A and B are shown apart, each in its own frame.
Chain A
Amino acid sequence: MGRYSIGFIAQRLGIFLLTIWIAASVIWLIPRLAPGDPISAMIMRMSSSGGRVENADKIIAGWKERFGLNDPLPVQYVRYMGNLLRFDFGYSLAHFPTPVADIIGLALPWTLGLLLVAVTLAFFIGNFLGAIMVWGKTPGLIRAVIPMFMIFTSIPSILAAIFLIYVFAFLLEWFPLAGSYPLGMKVELSWRFISAVIWHATLPALSVVLVNFGYWTLGMRGMMITVEGEDYIQLARAKGLKPFYVLYRYLVRNAILPQITAFAITLGSLVSGQVLVEYIFGYQGMGNIIFAAITSQDFPVIQGASFMLIVITALAVLIMDLTYPLIDPRISYERN
């Protein structure tokens, strides 16, 4: 563990906090630059979507008082930050006495499970395909087929999701149309339940994988081409090492490191993409509660759920940053 110094860990923690602070401040600041206050905007939206709102003026005044919108801005900002840091998002407006944290707690495991599986699959499949695209021993047919799948890369996961639902759930009826397990099924640790969950998660995971693996394939291919030109590869070949050994010990081992850094950078868009996929599939994750909250103007839930996802992304990046020195022995953060 000699690679870790207090300074390095403190610096990474600082970046983690800075990420959350910037995101939270942008969320707070921008709507306040726009004309009108958030509460009136919410009432306006309610009345435009659901007819007249009785006593709108009174509600606005009451909420302004309750949320302290009459206080000076710096006071509001400090209170807002304090609430976020304690993960106190208040109560859901649509399901009133339920705290937002409870709603998020129910949805979060589904999102994390799906995300973990889908992203891991995309990363490994993508890097594997990228590596064999460059490797000299790969049959020409495989090399010709891979780029065709890359078309999916350019399409947002939300469009892939709609397409997959139509073909595999609606037309062929191989997979369920929506949800993360059959309605009325007991949540338990049985094979029946687990297989139902996997069956329901296949299409959502597939839409994330299809759309994202190509990114890794392209990146890996570029890195492999660069590493391929290095002298030590020629030396390894000249030594008569087996081609496969050269591939995974020399080429892949060196080419994959920047891919792991790229992983941290794309995580944010991956999370965003998956949230939309969950919404399209009616998957019981964060995407679904965010959409339900948007429809019912449940602002505390929108804010709480989005903020949780931002924190989780930043946390994942932090974990990746901290494990990177273990993967890449050349990097030592002692100096920092």
Chain B
Amino acid sequence: MGSTLDTSGLATPRAASLPRRMGRFNRWDTPWLNPKLLAGVALLLVILLSGLLGRFFWDTDLAFSGKAPLNLPPVGFVNTRGQAGTWEHPLGTENSGRDMLALMIVGAPNSFLVGVVAAGVGMTVGVILGFSAGFIGGRVDDVIRLLSDVTVTIPSLMVLIVIQSLMRQVDLTTMALLIAVFAWPTPTRLIRAQVLSMRASGYVHMARLSGASTWAIMFREILPNLTPYIFASFIGNATGAILAAVGLETLGLGPQRVPTLGGTIYFAINAAALLRNMWWWWGLPTLMLALIFIGLLLINLGFDEIANPRLRRSSQ
């Protein structure tokens, strides 16, 4: 593979018209139209939009306790007490009268919020630190690399459990920010490695020889090439953040006043919903979270293929 040079592009007549099409060979022949990436984005958009638009069609107050009859199954099913599901609460209710549909509508965007805030903060810090480490080098690099290498091995959930059990009241944003405390090392390492390899590459040498300033090299030459990596690390971070949030919520350490998917699972497990065969109670939030994570995985795989052409070729 490595030795068979790709000469086909040079030999074909297409090469003659190359200068005219220099900008883009074919509008649709871009790696960004990766099927996995698109499928993942579509899946997440559907979940997010049904959460955001659902509020206009469904009463989200039903997500709080005591607003609906207890323990109703979804439409078309019968619970252990012989009650059938009704269209008033199409996805059923749980044992303190929360409507499952309303819980999903409110809970899913909350998970996104935690993911976006934690990943956004973590990634911003990561890009800044990774850039500084890779570009400045020396002592700065040593310190940043050491800190990120060390922090990345800490089981962050354990630290978050202790912190959150000490805090009086945790809201969504606080939880997201706490999660972000551990979200920077991965992007830092990734960006640093990429900056190091790019700094030594031909086009950066060219820019330096032609007298570009350090800032110009950083922001005009290197940063645009980092885009796939920044996106990929954002998605990876968001996955990790939602994972941490779900873990905390299922342990009963999540926000107490806002309905969340993990919190719903916590209540379900605490009330032995598994043994009472109330599958909709734990099953719906589990399914919703699984879909979110599958969407994120597809996006991540797509980015991988965009950033690594060898992978793209071998998957065809």
- Interface residues of A, Cβ cutoff 8 Å to B: 15, 18-19, 22-23, 26-27, 30-31, 34-36, 38, 40-42, 44-45, 134, 150-151, 153-156, 158-159, 162-163, 165-166, 170, 177, 222, 225-226, 228-231, 234, 264-265, 267-269, 271-272, 275-276, 279-280, 290-291, 294-295, 297, 299, 302-303, 306-307, 309-310, 313-314, 317
Q: Are B311 and A222 in contact (CB under 8 A)?
A: yes
**Closest residue to B290 on the A side, CB-wise?**
A155
Q: Are B166 and A310 in contact (CB under 8 A)?
A: no
Q: Which residues of B contact A156 (CB under 8 A)?
A: 243, 246-247, 289, 293
Add 17 more A-B contacts to A170-B274, A231-B2, A303-B162 (CB < 8 A).
Answer: A22-B151, A23-B159, A41-B166, A151-B294, A156-B289, A159-B246, A159-B286, A159-B290, A163-B286, A225-B311, A234-B2, A264-B153, A272-B157, A275-B157, A290-B251, A291-B251, A294-B253
Does residue B11 face the partner (Cβ distance < 8 Å to A)?
Answer: no
By the criterion CB–CB under 8 Å, are B310 and A229 in contact?
yes
- Are A272 and B247 neighbours in the complex by a CB distance under 8 Å? yes
Q: CB-defined interface of B248-281 with A at 8 Å, one 1/0 digit per residue?
A: 0011110000000000010001000011010100
CB distance from A71 to the nearest CB of B (A): 18
B246 touches A302 (CB 8 A): no
Main secondary structure of the interface of A (DSSP, over half): helix
**How far does the Cβ of B34 sit from chain A's closest Cβ, in whole Å?**
15
Say yes or no: A177 contacts B286, CB within 8 Å: no
Nearest chain B CB to A47's CB is how many angstroms away? 11
Contact A269 B155 (CB under 8 A): yes
Q: How would you classify the secondary structure of chain B's contact residues: helix, strand, loop or mixed?
A: helix
Q: How far is the CB of B296 from chain A (nearest CB, A)?
A: 7
A290 touches B286 (CB 8 A): no
Contact of B2 among A18, A45, A154, A229 (CB under 8 A): A229
Question: Do A36 and B290 touch (CB < 8 A)?
Answer: no
In the complex, are the beta carbons of A18 and B146 less than 8 A apart?
yes
B22 neighbours in A (Cβ, 8 Å):
none
**Shortest 4 CB-CB contacts between residues of A and residues of B:** A154-B297, A272-B157, A31-B166, A306-B158
Most chain B beta-carbon neighbours within 10 Å: one of A42, A162, A280, A307: A162
Q: Name the residue of chain A whose CB is nearest to the CB of B240.
A: A269
Check if B308 is an interface residue, CB within 8 A of chain A.
Answer: yes
| B250 contacts A158, C-beta separation under 8 Å | yes
Residue in chain A with minimal CB distance to B253: A294
B1 contacts A268, CB within 8 Å? Answer: no
Given the contacts A166-B274, A231-B2, A153 and B297 also touching, CB distance less than 8 Å:
yes
Considering the chains assembled together, what is the distance between the CA atoms of A22 and B155 in angstroms?
12
CB of A15, distance to nearest CB on chain B (Å): 6
Q: Do the beta carbons of A268 and B293 come within 8 Å of each other?
A: no
On chain B, the number of residues with a Cβ less than 8 Å from chain A's Cβ atoms is 55
**CB of B149 closer than 8 Å to a CB of A:** yes
B152 contacts A by Cβ under 8 Å: yes
Residue B5 lies at the interface, judged by CB distance under 8 Å to chain A: no
In the bound complex, how far is the Cα of B274 from the Cα of A166, in angstroms? 7
Residue of B nearest to A134 (CB): B314
When distances are taken between beta carbons in the complex, the residues of chain A under 8 Å from B274 are 162, 165-166, 170, 177
Measured CB to CB, the closest approach of chain B to A251, in angstroms, equals 13
Q: Judge whether B3 is part of the interface by a CB distance below 8 angstroms.
A: yes
A-binding residues in B (CB < 8 A): 1-3, 146-147, 149-159, 161-163, 165-168, 178, 181, 239-240, 243-244, 246-247, 250-253, 265, 269, 274-275, 277, 279, 282-283, 286, 289-290, 293-294, 296-297, 304, 308, 310-311, 314
A166 to B275 alpha-carbon distance, docked (Å): 9
Contact of B314 among A170, A225, A276, A314 (CB under 8 A): A225
Contact (Cβ within 8 A) A34 B167: yes
Given contacts A153-B297, A154-B294, A222-B308, are A294 and B154 in contact (CB under 8 A)?
A: no
Considering the complex, give the chain A residue whose CB is closest to the CB of B295.
A154
A34 to B168, CA, bound (A): 9
* Pairwise interchain contact A162-B282, C-beta atoms closer than 8 A: yes
Q: B247 — which chain A residues lie within 8 A by C-beta?
A: 156, 158, 272, 276
- CB pair B152–A268 under 8 Å, yes or no, is yes
Given contacts A31-B167, A170-B275, contact A19 B294 (CB under 8 A): no
Given A222-B308, A306-B158, A306-B161: A314 touches B269 (CB 8 Å cut-off) = no
Contacts of B290 in A (CB 8 A): 154-155, 159
Q: Are A272 and B158 within 8 A (Cβ)? A: yes
Please, which residues of chain A bring their CB within 8 A of the CB of B294?
Answer: 151, 154-155
Q: Which of B150, B166, B246, B279 is the one whose CB lies under 8 Å from A15?
A: B150
Please indicate the chain B residues that have their CB under 8 angstroms from the CB of A31 in the complex.
Answer: 163, 166-167
Which of the residues A44, A154, A234 comes within 8 Å of B168, measured between beta carbons?
Answer: A44
Chain B residue contacts of A165, Cβ below 8 A: 274
**In the complex, how many angstroms separate the beta carbon of A211 from the nearest chain B beta carbon?**
10
Complex-state Cα separation, A59 to B265, whole angstroms: 33
